[in-house]
Structure 1
Amino acid sequence: MNYVSPLGVGVVYCVLMSLIKEPHRRHFNAVMVGGAGAAYLSGGGVGPWELPFVALMAYVAYRGLESWTFIGVGWLLHTAWDTVHHLTGDPILPFLPGSSSACGICDPVIALWCLRGGPSLIALVRGRSGRRRGEDQAHDHVSVPT
């Protein structure tokens, strides 16, 4: 299996997302991780367990609207789901048998970037901090509902 391509896809995703300014970058990524949560739904490879996973990912994506940490956790949850689907032989793309394992390699790259606060990689390469003054300042206010 090729491990380099999925890693490259993850990096390219993060670079392309860096073109979006904050807070829109975080909001867009929350929507993306929510969509990733439903990626396996039509295949139903693990039966009724697909539904609670989609519900969990919808919640995580909603919380991700205000928190890069939740978005990163969402990508890690999707990595676990990729692994389950790979092991059960039900790939995300039925015509590509290794697609779930490739997705499981790509997703942690995106998760790590998100857990770092989704900084602009373009700005980092240019030698800046990746955030402009006032952008996503500290960033994730994670509160536990009471």
Structure 2
Amino acid sequence: MVIIAPILVGLVYVALMSLIPEPHRRRFNAVMVAGAGAAYLSGGGLGIWEFAFTAVMTYVAYRGLDSWTFIGVAWLLHTGWDVVHHLKGAPIIPFAEHSSFGCAICDPVIAIWCFAGGRVVFRRPRSSVA
């Protein structure tokens, strides 16, 4: 479950994001990954490096406003930061010891979708109003 649950979370995220029409979907995802970049700021345990990482993520997320590739890169950067926190820092969810490990599994699922252009994988059913 430690591996399957984060993969499912990533897939649910992708499915829900598919409900947002473009170009809003890309921009919304750029904002989401920018927020993920600041997730460890309040207690990640790596001092000044938390701020440096957040600055890098902010720039990459900004570039993601116009590029799915940059959003994918940002999710992979966050994956690396999750691994660092799992090994050396504090978990992303303070009361869940392996939360950074789970995040490191979930994030690449989202990144793959972003590298594929953030395509719709789930469509809302159309109402048949006659």
Shorter-chain-normalised TM-score: which range?
over 0.9
Matches within 5 A, 1:63-102: 63-102=63-102
**Any gaps of 5 or more consecutive residues in structure 2?**
126-130
**Which is worse superposed, 89-98 or 8-17?**
89-98
Q: Structure 1 residues 3, 13: CA separation in 2 closer, same or farther (over 3 Å shift)?
A: same
Deviations, residues 15-48 of structure 1 (Å, cap 9, x unaligned): 0000000000000000000000000000041111
**Counterpart for residue 109 of structure 1:** 109
Identity of aligned residues (%): 67
Number of paired residues?
A: 124
Instruction: Tell me whether 1:34 sits opposite 2:34 in the alignment.
Output: yes
Q: Following superposition of structure 1 onto structure 2, how do residues 23-62 of structure 1 map, counting pairs within 5 Å? A: 23-62=23-62
How large is the Cα RMSD of the aligned pairs?
1.3
Unaligned runs of 5+ in 1: 127-146
- Moved segments of 4+, more than 6 Å: none
Secondary structure of 1:26's aligned partner:
helix
> Higher RCO, 1 or 2 (CA under 8 Å, sep at least 6)?
2
Q: Deviations over 1:67-92 (max 9, x none)?
A: 00000000000000000000014100
- What is the one-letter code of the residue matched to 1:103? C
